[in-house]
Amino acid sequence: MQIKKNAKEYDAIIVGSGAGGGMTARRLAENGLNIAIIEAGPFYDPTDKEMVTQLRWPWESPRRGASTTRPFGDFNAAFGGWDIPGEPYTTFPGTNFEWFRSRMLGGRTNHWGRISLRFGPDDFKHYDKDGLGANWPITYDEVKPWYTKVDKLIGVFGTNEGLPNDPDGFFLPPPKPRLHEMLVAKHAKNVGVPFVPSRLSIVTKKVNDERGLCFYCGQCSRSCMVKADFSASSALVIPAMKSSGTVDLYTDSMAREVITDATGRATGVSYVSKEDRREYTINGKVVVLAAGSCETARLLLNSRAPGQDNGLGNGSGVVGRYLHDSTGLNVSGFVPSLMDRQRYNEDGVGGLHVYAPWWLDNKKLDFPRGYHIEVWGGMGMPSYGFGGGILEMQRAVGERVGGYGPKMIEEMNRYYGAYVGMAMRGESVAMYDNYCEIDPSGQVDEWGIPILRFNYKWTDYEYKQAQHAQQTLRSIMNDMGAELISPEPGKDQEYGLLAPGAIIHEVGTARMGDDPKTSATDRWGKLHESPNVFISDAATFSSQADKNPTWTILALAWRQGDHIVEELKKMNI
């Protein structure tokens, strides 16, 4: 039942149903507004038994969980990935960007790592600290109450550590660490890296009547059937649909452009239905873009208003620019002392129970921004690829490399749970020259929509940070007695730095600022050049932090949603 041509004028049209769109939708609907959500993928409800992949076994998949069509494996709850058939993008020669898209209700929140970190006071004013990038037009203190609301609505476990740039919050009690996490924390301390309980949006203690309690299957990436993890589908959009407002959800609908009147005011959004491949328009008083930083930029760049030939709201020319993703690299190794482990269920929550927030002062270092450290390992559920590293493990413990038969199985059983890894996730510097644009070749995707071309290069800031992280992570592993799987990558291997886009924290393509000449949106995330077009995803981020962006997306979207309600009440929009 696709709603075809619709004369109705919604109070608001929201494009995208992830963290930003979901939160905006919930706030507007709870305030009684009539809204439409345009979602490029299908409906998805993690609590629907027919959809659930949680608690399934690897043998139920013919590919044993391999990542053929889903980059994080067959049971992962993200439909899509870095490559989507029929939806290409290109990169400028000599540059690199990998664009992850998840076409479904809730978007990428259905599978993400649930690491939920508030940005700190310095993160909003990093230009003041090091003269790079731009300050946000708002401060931590302005956003703080909204972070607290998000903490209390959605639930995030952690501990108040009183750290200057990793703010305390209203945390649920954290779970105890796993064995390898305690080991890593101990050896990290030996080399001067403090680990603390992690901060994940997983419900460890009753937070409200909406949400279930974690039952420690370690599978948040499959999206939780009892809603013990945060997914925008189950925690925001579906509750919005039960609230006092009216929510019309247009699924399998690919937003194409924002429609404006002669004054540049948005009147609606056009989309291509994936069912019949025809274009439709719906009308609204307010348009909120939350399609994901790059998709939101694409929408703006594909939209036109009188006098705005460069894309809607792009008089500054910054739409698509200052694109930046978190830096990332991984180091892993075999820890002989963890061989022959006693078996017990250590699935835990779907992610790390400990992490190391940035602990150093960049003034004393040769790179400007920090990183945090994540850890993984343990006796997890086997999936496709299990045992593939046996030759490396044999080498690590001095066994004859190779073989077959019962002896090999016996060895593998002894090695189980002894493989440990760490991941660095850091802040890159927002650069004008890192951007996405409409591909000048004129190529369109299968929905007829002009595609993006990316132009992104890491700079020495990121390379130096990566070099530092390699040394740090390796020193922890060495202190633990680990046999590292690969030698330290040098400059020719970019110090092991993963490609931009690989960490899926891309932000900044319509950055907020007080000056319309250098920013696309104002402090509320509203386009400077249109009275009623807002952005509630991470496109508005003036800068990233050494943190995952989701909690900040949620806080800003809540703040923005309430602002839109007020402005509508005052007839300002």
Binding segment (CB under 8 A) for another protein, from list 18-26, 52-60, 513-521, 537-545: 52-60
Q: How far is the CB of 20 from another protein (least distance, A)?
A: 19
- Placement of tokens 């609907």 in the chain: 29
Show the site string, 72-111: x = touches another protein by CB under 8 A, - = not: --xx---x-----x-------------------x------
Which residues, numbered 375-404, are part of the site for another protein (CB under 8 A)? 379-388, 390-391, 395, 400-404
Q: How far is the CB of 103 from another protein (least distance, A)?
A: 8
Q: Which of 82, 92, 127, 170 binds another protein (CB under 8 A)?
A: 170
The number of angstroms, rounded, from the C-alpha of 110 to the middle of its chain's C-alpha atoms is 10
Report the residue number, 158 or 328, with the smaller CB distance to another protein. 158
**Bridge partners for 486 per DSSP:** none
CA 223 vs CA 60, 76, 233: distances in Å: 18, 8, 9
What 8-state DSSP symbol labels residue 397? H
Q: Does residue 2 belong to the site contacting another protein (CB under 8 A)?
A: yes
The answer to whether 145 and 55 are in contact (CB under 8 A) is no
Q: Does residue 517 belong to the site contacting another protein (CB under 8 A)?
A: no
Q: How far is the CB of 81 from another protein (least distance, A)?
A: 11
Q: Categorise residue 57: left if φ over 0, alpha if ψ from -120 to 50, beta otherwise.
A: beta
Binding segment (CB under 8 A) for another protein, from list 178-186, 255-263, 473-481, 499-507: 178-186
Q: Residue count at the site for another protein (CB under 8 A)?
A: 126
Q: How far apart are CA 79 and CA 97, in angstroms?
A: 20
Q: Does residue 160 belong to the site contacting another protein (CB under 8 A)?
A: yes
Show the site string, 487-506: x = touches another protein by CB under 8 A, - = not: --------------------
Q: Does residue 164 belong to the site contacting another protein (CB under 8 A)?
A: no
The answer to whether 549 and 108 are in contact (CB under 8 A) is no
Q: How far is the CB of 197 from another protein (least distance, A)?
A: 6
Consecutive H or E run containing 250: strand 246-250
Binding segment (CB under 8 A) for another protein, from list 39-47, 295-303, 481-489, 553-561: 39-47
The number of angstroms, rounded, from the C-alpha of 231 to the middle of its chain's C-alpha atoms is 12
The answer to whether 198 and 353 are in contact (CB under 8 A) is yes
Q: Report strand pairing: 452-455 vs 90-91.
A: parallel
Question: Could you tell me which residues come within 8 angstroms of residue 269 by beta carbon, excluding any fewer than 6 positions away?
Answer: 13, 15, 38, 255, 256, 257, 258, 259, 281, 282, 284, 287
Which residues, numbered 240-269, are part of the site for another protein (CB under 8 A)? 241-242, 246-252
Q: How far is the CB of 14 from another protein (least distance, A)?
A: 14
Q: Does residue 339 belong to the site contacting another protein (CB under 8 A)?
A: no
Which residues, numbered 6-35, are part of the site for another protein (CB under 8 A)? none
What 8-state DSSP symbol labels residue 247? E
Q: Which of 95, 215, 304, 459 binds another protein (CB under 8 A)?
A: 215
Binding segment (CB under 8 A) for another protein, from list 91-99, 232-240, 366-374, 424-432: 232-240
- Placement of tokens 């690829």 in the chain: 385
Which residues, numbered 266-305, are part of the site for another protein (CB under 8 A)? 275
Of the candidates 531, 529, 482, the residue with the CA atom closest to the CA atom of residue 334:
482
The number of angstroms, rounded, from the C-alpha of 282 to the middle of its chain's C-alpha atoms is 28
Which residues, numbered 405-444, are part of the site for another protein (CB under 8 A)? 405-406, 408-409, 412-413, 416
